[in-house]
Structure 1
Amino acid sequence: MAQIHPTALVDPKAELDAGVEVGPYTVIGPDVKVGAGTTIAAHVVLEGHTTIGRDNRIFQFGSIGAANQDKKYKGEPTQLVIGDRNTIREFVTLHVGTVQDKAVTRIGNDNWIMAYTHVGHDCVVGDNVTMANNSTLGGHVEIGDWVTIGGLTGIHQFTKVGAHAMLGFQSAVSQDVPPYMLVDGNPLAVRGVNVVGLKRRGFSDARIAAVRKMHKLLYREGRTLDDAKAAIGALAGEMPEAAGDVALMSAFLAAATRGIAR
């Protein structure tokens, strides 16, 4: 049975799995589903069509599943879907999607979402993402796996950030950030490769060398973007141990819609 504090207000239609803990004065609406082992602290509001997976930890004063801030939103039954084992700290705001896009805001697994972070409507956040305090995602943003976002960083709507990238403190991100890159500033600039992050994740020297080569092709040889894309694609044959990394970069560059950070 769920353990619900007597001062919490939980709608009878809400679905709380075994082992869920609900703290004092928390409010949970009728269309909320919470998976086993998730703990919800005091003064949290869970509303909207929100589905939360297993073993998440939601700290006090979070606003989860509220109506989004898109002026076109008319109260349609759009969704917020959160995966497993996420840590969601104080005063985080996570909004439902819009019918103009996917109608769902989606957050993956094992993410570390720090205080005052905002994830806007229709965003997609992957797995193992770290978002430091006051990270702000506008609507329709896509964040790849293992991305680190520095505190006070703002990401413009419709922007994509590739896997394993690191965004430095107080960055203004309005163009797509390719995988593996280390960026910061306002205006944003690419500073190099996120080598420390890659080493922490067990990347071999050969894979890191391939990532460095892709960075050089994109940013250090004066190539056009189309020429750099072609040269990066050819690396899969030259450096087969990094074929997956090359494929990830090539797919990202092909899908970039706002131009890439330079």
Structure 2
Amino acid sequence: MHHAPGGLNAGLLSNVSNIHPTALVADGARLDPSVQVGPYAVIGPNVAIGAGTTVGAHCVIEGHTTIGQDNRIFQFASLGADPQDKKYAGEATRLVIGHRNTIREFCTFNTGTVQDRGETTVGDDNWIMAYVHVAHDCAIGDQTTLANNTTLAGHVEVGDWATVGGLTGVLQRMRVGAHTMVGFSSHVNKDVPPYMVVDGSPLAVRGVNLVGLRRRDFSAPRIAAIREMHKLLYRQGLSLDEARKAILALAADMPEAAADVALMDAFLESSAAGIAR
């Protein structure tokens, strides 16, 4: 490693004016010339960072980590460290972060494990608040909000537009569906179906995420279909198989919501842990 003003591989980093003199950037790191790196940050040799991204003071970015464009990474974040898995034996697993994410102070994102897909992924346009932990092999979609101290255990999936309240813990291998709202200080030990509001410990489904759907300009017919799906799952006393059949039938009567019905059915079909119910 070298201090930014000298010793960098000129073919990989042609402009060091945006890198603080106290930052340590390893030979081999690939940073777009527009990347800004703050004081005392440490960036490892297998890191690639795209145009317009800013890295705050004292951040450590290591491992086989790829970060896209226009991300804001605040001070003291730790990205790309080894997974907290006793089976990990030094394999070259990865962390991949997309574009336009905000990653606040003291976040910890780990690389994947060979026991799963070997990759932890964070999509685009996510708002990730302080002290969030994203463990090995997690998959976070786009446009999510993870509030302070959200803790994702290994292999967790978070769908697009999901919001997870502060101090919430998500058990390993659980899935939080698209357009969900998980309330403050919840214990997520079951899969959360798309569009639902859940909270508590034990986890309970409270209704449909109407506020989120209206903010995203869901039409009245789509919202009506989603409310009907909630009723079939939680209010009619149906078995899960019976509810799924009834949900699939909604697509014929409510064609505008066909994609929403398909999303819900695919989620229910693929739930290994069982849904919050």
Q: What TM-score does the superposition give when structure 2 sets the normalisation length?
A: 0.94
Query: Which residue of 4, 7, 22 corresponds with 1:7?
Result: 22
Question: Which residue is equivalent to 2:231?
Answer: 216
Pick from 134, 159, 162 the counterpart of residue 174 of structure 2: 159
Amino acid at match of 1:32: V
Instruction: Name the CA distance, whole Å, in 1 between partners of 2:24 and 2:52.
Output: 19
Equivalence map 1:14-163=2 (5 Å): 14-163=29-178
Q: What amino acid maps onto 1:219 in structure 2?
A: Y
Larger Rg: 2
- Structure 2: gaps spanning 5 or more residues: 1-14
* Equivalent position SS for 2:57: coil
Aligned counterparts of 1:250 and 1:147: Cα–Cα separation in 2: 18
Per-residue CA deviations over 1:128-179 (Å, capped at 9, x if unaligned) read 0000000000000000000000000000000011100000000000100000
**Deviation for aligned residue 1:18:** 2.4
Question: 2:109 is paired with a residue of what secondary structure?
Answer: strand
Stretches of structure 1 lacking an aligned partner (at least 5 in a row): none
Return the offset for 1:12: 1.4
Distance 2:110 2:232 in 1: 38
Give the AA of the match of 2:23: A
Structure 1 runs (4+) greater than 6 angstroms displaced? none
Q: Is 2:212 the counterpart of 1:202?
A: no
User: Quick check: 1:170 aligned with 2:209?
Assistant: no
Aligned to 2:257: 242
* Structure 1 residue 63 displacement after superposition: 0.4
Identical-pair percentage: 68
- The code of the aligned residue for 2:192 comes to V
For 2:258, the aligned partner's letter is: A
- Partners of 2:70 and 2:215 in 1: CA distance: 25
Paired residue type of 1:139: G
